[in-house]
Amino acid sequence: MAGPASAAAAASAHRAGLAAAGPHDLTAFPGLARGLDLAVLRAIAAGVDAAAGPGPWTADEVADAFAAAERHRWIPGHWIAALCDEGMATARGSAFRLTAPPRRRDLSAARRELDRTRAALGYPPALTAFLLRTLRELPRLLRDEVSAQALLFPGGDTAVAEAVYRDNPLSRYLNAAAADLVRRLRPADPAGLRVLELGAGIGATTADLLPALEGVTAEYRFTDLSPFFLDLARDRFPQRFLRFGLVDFSTGLPDQKGPFDLVVAANTAHNAPHVPRLLGQVADLLAPDGRLLLIETCREPRQSLTSMPFLLSGRVPRQDPRAGTERTYLTRREWREALHAAGLRLLVDLPHPTDPLDALSQRVLFAAR
């Protein structure tokens, strides 16, 4: 697939994505996503104010005020940087202060705005409940008395993860576009396609891919770092061509026996300490003309500031373009460069930069060896 063929594939995947997203006014989404981000940030400012007062303080003094655990001490500084970016805090040297100390009624307004924008973006109420829970628990999260994972999967319940990775218009767009792209694959080997999914998690993308691959697939290797997700998937997916395996891709992929016709990594490849290296290892596992399907984020959404940073604390330091920064994700340009450096040819990159969904910063990248 190259040139006009990939343009046709992109157009078809985009149509499939829009159909799955449902009857929403997507042109309103950039403004709504920004509203949600700002509401979360206002609530974080109120949390900082409650612990440390309106300032001036240094980032370290805020970490002290929260009695933050050693591994999480960087997080208040990360929030303060976001508050400064949005004009909610100002800096003088290494000291900061909140621009307008939050009042009780501002916090109630932020919570209402958070729920309004969540609903208008088509996320289930579970997302509001989760965000409010993390906001309430910020002090205990920082002290490491409760983990972000425990709040994300309370009692093993996957409703929040489903809300974030599946049950909303943006995820429906991405997962349906991905399914449309893989539906076109035909096995070179008459035995059928061999597929490897990395960091498959709750299977939010897998659930759309499996029906698209049914009938042409010999083996779909569903892998993750955590046995919890493998057990969930064994219960959830009946397809006989599924195989399961524990794989930590941050240490390479030496045990995976290629070649694979398709490798999938949805919302997970950014966990690699060196993304270009991971993509190079994936490229080595692909059959000639095999495909890599990525769903990835290109900018940290502020709405994730009460959870994502806690999941990152203590991880192996990033050794790629993110080295020395607090960035979780590569930029769109860095993702494209990393694919290129791995010898992969980008065929489809959706949504188009002029599409309103582009502002939500998650994308489907489909590349060929």
Ligand X SMILES: C[S@@+](CC[C@H](N)C(=O)[O-])C[C@H]1O[C@@H](n2cnc3c(N)ncnc32)[C@H](O)[C@@H]1O
46 versus 225: smaller Cβ distance to ligand X: 225
248 part of the interface to ligand X, by CB under 6 A:
yes
Cβ atoms of 121 and 169 closer than 8 Å: yes
User: How near is the Cβ of 246 to ligand X at its closest, in Å?
Assistant: 8
17 part of the interface to ligand X, by CB under 6 A:
no
In DSSP terms, 197 is beta-bridged to: 222, 264
User: How near is the Cβ of 203 to ligand X at its closest, in Å?
Assistant: 6
225 part of the interface to ligand X, by CB under 6 A:
yes
> Which residue's C-beta sits nearest to ligand X?
201
203 part of the interface to ligand X, by CB under 6 A:
yes
* Residue bearing tokens 């208008």: 120
Single out the residue of 57, 165, 222, 241 in contact with ligand X (rule: CB under 6 A): 165
Question: Which amino acid is it at 232?
Answer: L
Single out the residue of 83, 266, 293, 294 in contact with ligand X (rule: CB under 6 A): 266
267 part of the interface to ligand X, by CB under 6 A:
yes
Single out the residue of 52, 151, 163, 202 in contact with ligand X (rule: CB under 6 A): 202
Single out the residue of 38, 181, 182, 247 in contact with ligand X (rule: CB under 6 A): 247
96 versus 165: smaller Cβ distance to ligand X: 165
Binding residues for ligand X, rule CB under 6 A, total 21
321 part of the interface to ligand X, by CB under 6 A:
no
Of residues 349, 181, 363, the one with CA closest to residue 266: 363
Cβ atoms of 278 and 254 closer than 8 Å: no
59 versus 178: smaller Cβ distance to ligand X: 178
297 part of the interface to ligand X, by CB under 6 A:
no
User: How near is the Cβ of 266 to ligand X at its closest, in Å?
Assistant: 4
User: How near is the Cβ of 311 to ligand X at its closest, in Å?
Assistant: 9
- Nearest-angstrom CA–CA distance, 273 and 309: 15
256 part of the interface to ligand X, by CB under 6 A:
no
Binding site for ligand X (CB under 6 A): 165, 198-205, 224-226, 229, 247-250, 266-268, 271
